[in-house]
Amino acid sequence: MNIVILAAGMGKRMQSALPKVLHPLAGKPLLSHVIDTARSLSPAALCVIYGHGGEAVPAAVGADDIRFAKQEPQLGTGHAVMQAVPYLRDEAPTLILYGDVPLTTRHSLQRLLDSAGQDKLAILTVELEDPTGYGRIVRRQGHIVGIVEQKDASETEHAIREVNTGIMVAPTSRLKKWLTTLSSDNAQGEYYLTDIVARAVADGVPVVSAQPAAGVWETLGVNSKAQLAELERIHQRNIAGALLEQGVTLADPARIDVRGTLSCGRDVTIDVNCVFEGKVELEDGVSIGAHCVIRNARIGRSANIKPFCHIEDALVGAESQIGPYARLRPGTELAEDVHIGNFVEVKNSRIAAHSKANHLAYVGDATVGSRVNIGAGAITCNYDGANKHRTVIEDDVFIGSDTQLVAPVRVGKGATLGAGTTLTKDAPEGKLTISRAKQVSVEGWKRPVKAKK
């Protein structure tokens, strides 16, 4: 099949310089949702019609399998589809989608395609309690004979509740012919794509309909920030429902945001107000505390992520304990049973099994062995103002509180660094290394006092 996605609209009600179809839903542009669904149908040709925003749309979603056609000026939906004609193959039907209608499912589109076959015009329709603003489906003896737009509808037609979603499938050779006959002689002075229904009826082409599989929400478009927010909640509710069906425990299904893909094993528990971005994998038995943000990460079996943690581009080993208030930055790799406590930051570092940094520490550009204890206030000084340098801490090391390790530096196996040490040279294995100024008490010293006014 051919697929045409109409994405040229300005979106005045969005009150934004960003083209409407590029506003994000669940972390990616509205148009990207539609393109992903279109790709799932394996089209022979995929064409996006853009206009408002200039080259911003092709720049944002461009790919080798997409052809772009510019609609300028924008003279209606029929005029938009005309721009795609050079890319449409006559031997396959053409499916028309909208870049601001992001939640239509593959299942519903496949049903519509099946209804159309190779020679019918098929329209995705819904019935609304309040159809105001939508084109009405006009039937005679049960058969679709036309679509009338809101501004052109009679009083009788205004009462029709079955409406056009805009999504349709047409035999391509006939579609090209019908497009050449469209007129802008109507209330809006535009070329309506919906007028091809009357052309199909006149040519004896059957016009059929299909309903969305999951409900009206599949056909909802975005014209304002309020509608965008509504669709965001619908989408997140659908994701939460799928997670619950898989056996995930959600403290509150209304308070989770997935902005990418989230895969979960058995017996996973997620507390409230957590955000998952990119590709996140939670293995069996993982517990995620409240208010965590996790991006592009894998959390190992039975790990416990306590509240208010930020984890990005990181791997967390099985049975590890993270947080609360911990930050794992890109390049962090934790083995099993690692403890990263409150206000600890780890960046571009590998920490082996059973090691701990329980509070107030910075571990950056480091390789840390097994059974290492990193005390409060300890930091790796990895940056000299121009370049990053690596710290190596071998197995069974004990690092006292308030220690600075000035990289590049190595701490040998089983070594102990006394509290307050500033390490600028390698520490030998198995020994206590201390670097402190001599403690002095000054006789006769008095604390200054404020002068009297």
Please identify every residue annotated as catalytic: 359
**Quick count: other Cβ atoms within 10 Å of Cβ 70?**
13
Question: Are 264 and 244 within 8 A, CB to CB?
Answer: no
Minimal CA–CA distance to 76: which of 57, 45, 51, 102? 51
Q: Can you give the three-state secondary structure of 117-172, one letter per residue?
A: CCCCEEEEEEECCCCCCCCEEEEECCEEEEEECHHHCCHHHHCCCEEEEEEEEECH
Which of the 8 DSSP states describes residue 450? P
β-strands 94-98, 162-170 pairing: antiparallel
Structure tokens that stand for 409 in this block? 């530096």
Closest listed residue to residue 53, CA positions, set 87, 94, 100:
100
Is 33 in contact with 260 (CB distance < 8 Å)? no
End-to-end CA distance of the chain: 89
Count of C-beta atoms within a 10 Å radius of residue 383:
12
Spatial distance between the Cα atoms of 32 and 20, rounded to a whole number of angstroms: 12
C-alpha separations of 178 from 82, 98, 172 in Å: 10, 20, 10
Residue 388 DSSP class = B
Q: How many CB atoms lie within 10 A of CB 166?
A: 20
Classify 225 as helix, strand or coil. helix
Neighbours of 325 (CB within 10 A): 16
Measured between alpha carbons, how far is 136 from 205 in angstroms, rounded to an integer?
20
Q: Whose CA is closest to 221, among 212, 230, 213, 211?
A: 230
Write the CA distances from 353 to 89, 338, 342, 398, 415, integer angstroms: 59, 6, 19, 15, 18
